[in-house]
Structure 1
Amino acid sequence: MHETTTPTLLFVIGPAAVGKMTVGGAIAERTGFKLFHNHMTIEPLARLFGHGSPQFQRLNHGFREQILAEAAGSDLPGLVFTLVWAFDDPEDAALVERYTAPFRERGARILFLELTADQAVRLVRNAGETRLAEKPSKRDLEWSNRNLVGMDAKHRLNSIDEFAHVPESHLLVDNTELAPAEVAERAVAYFGL
């Protein structure tokens, strides 16, 4: 397990089915960090209120903020949090600010591992066994594939220069042809985790 004097919040960001949860899990295994993947709040709320409803949105963001605040104040050495970030949507940037606030207050390292992969590869990954086991809302593959393609068309899901001012806190990896373990090793080495 990695020993650290300040907590670390590592975001794993990128478009749908790029491998955020799988890579995040591989990083957690190597560091002793805990994995908090975005569907840990999405799935129960989607079943109760329907994905995207006002109740879903309010509770999803509220639960995430509470969990992240508790993690920041705990003795965890670090947390890996996965997120689809629409860089063209100012509300997403504001959410990230709220999610990071309790960690910033503690002087934590806040890092961003950004994944990108070809859409065709992501559509194959969208039907992956682990993904479907952890994310029941993705099991309707016709809907899920349509949603993936639609999100790609509607939003900019990878950064351009948003992290130019903090290059040491951001790593972009095209994992189209890389195994999750290889991406995890790169991230652990780059960030010194």
Structure 2
Amino acid sequence: MQLVFIYGQVAAGKLTVARELAELSGLALFHNHLVVDAVGSVFPFGSSPFVRLRESFWLSVFEEAARADTSLIFTFAPEPTVERTFPERARDVVAEAGGSTLFVALEVDPQVQEQRLLSPDRAAFGKMTSLPLFQSLRTDFASCFAQMPRPDLTIDTTRIEPRDAAVAIARRIGA
């Protein structure tokens, strides 16, 4: 089992690249907003129950997937409401069940990032679409990104097509 843990800043192209990778590899795609939206329908974003349940759900899915030998792609945006140690604990849960984790960092030029942030399709999963909000949180997001585990693969999505980024990841996982 392999967990392909794709992380990056807001609007770095995580879901777009992950969808391409899922199509190329046949791996299941576990987009983080599926859980964020489900838990957020009951508890306010960032509240103690929200944070606890979101992480519990993520880790439970990783553990069960590893036990079932079901590889998957996970998208993740490092941000202040997620415990700093979450990525390492995700890796450990997968490893304890016999799997491995590939950390893939997506980077993007800030100007391109701001343009992407305004794309109407971001609203489909309740993603951030407010440029002023993003700009006020940019430093916090950058700090969280800097605390992520060292990536096994880094891709700058500024000038590369999502399909090409997915191909690079697929080659790395042997898909």
Aligned to 1:180: 162
- Alignment-mate amino acid for residue 137 of structure 2: M
TM-score for the superposition, normalised by structure 1:
0.79
Match of 2:2 among 8, 12, 22: 8
Helix, strand or coil: the match of 1:113? strand
CA–CA separation in structure 2 for the residues paired with 1:25 and 1:58: 27
Match of 2:62 among 63, 68, 76: 68
CA–CA separation in structure 1 for the residues paired with 2:7 and 2:102: 10
Shift of residue 119 of structure 1?
1.8
The share of aligned pairs that are identical, in percent, is 28
Structure 2 gaps of 5+ residues are none
| Mapping for residues 94-113 of structure 1, pairs under 5 Å | 94-113=85-104
Question: Cα deviations across residues 5-36 of structure 1 (Å, max 9, x unaligned)?
Answer: xx111110111111111111111111111111
Contact 1:72 1:106 in 2 (8 A): yes
Aligned to 2:32: 38
Contact 1:43 1:137 in 2 (8 A): no
Q: 1:151 to 1:72 in 2, by over 3 A?
A: farther
Helix, strand or coil: the match of 1:91? coil
Structure 1 gaps of 5+ residues are 1-6, 164-168
Shift of residue 146 of structure 1?
3.1
> 4+ runs of 1 displaced by more than 3 Å?
88-91, 157-162
Contact 1:15 1:152 in 2 (8 A): no
Contact 1:27 1:185 in 2 (8 A): yes
CA–CA separation in structure 2 for the residues paired with 1:52 and 1:90: 9
Match of 1:127 among 105, 108, 118: 118
Aligned to 1:166: none
Question: Cα deviations across residues 35-73 of structure 1 (Å, max 9, x unaligned)?
Answer: 111111111222322111111111111111111111111
Match of 1:50 among 33, 44, 55: 44
Helix, strand or coil: the match of 1:13? strand
Contact 1:15 1:158 in 2 (8 A): yes
TM-score for the superposition, normalised by structure 2:
0.86
Helix, strand or coil: the match of 1:17? coil
Shift of residue 157 of structure 1?
4.8
Q: Over aligned residues, Cα RMSD in angstroms?
A: 2.5
Counting matched residue pairs gives 174
CA–CA separation in structure 2 for the residues paired with 1:50 and 1:81: 23
Helix, strand or coil: the match of 1:49? coil
